[in-house]
Amino acid sequence: MSPFRAPKILRPEDLVLLRATIQKQQPELLPLLDLLGVQPLTEDQREALREALADEFVETGLMDDSEPNARGRHLDDIIGTLRRL
């Protein structure tokens, strides 16, 4: 039986933003990023990553009118992708 391989749905630029966000928001979660594509994450692990991304979204992803800026849209896309892993 071959090892688990996650679909390649995270682009390189997604991984860069994901790693930077986790490093800033919850660095204790960084080891989870090394598991992406190697083994499936649990729902709790995926939720922890999504929460860190949501925190970053609130801090840096909104314009003054509360609409998402480009960074916010990118963070939101990654959050959605993590729901499907």
Structural domain includes residue 43: yes
Structural domain includes residue 7: no
Structural domain includes residue 73: yes
Domain that holds residue 30: 12-84
Structural domain includes residue 74: yes
pLDDT at 6: 44
Structural domain includes residue 3: no
d(CA 5, CA 7): 6
Closest Cα partner for 72 from 12, 21, 3, 15?
Answer: 21
Backbone angles phi, psi at 62, to 5 degrees: -125, 145
Structural domain includes residue 76: yes
Structural domain includes residue 31: yes
Q: What is the mean pLDDT of each run of 10 residues along the chain (85 residues)?
A: 54 95 98 91 96 98 97 97 85
Q: Could you tell me the pTM of the whole model?
A: 0.88
Structural domain includes residue 30: yes
How many structural domains is the chain composed of? 1
Backbone angles phi, psi at 68, to 5 degrees: -65, 140
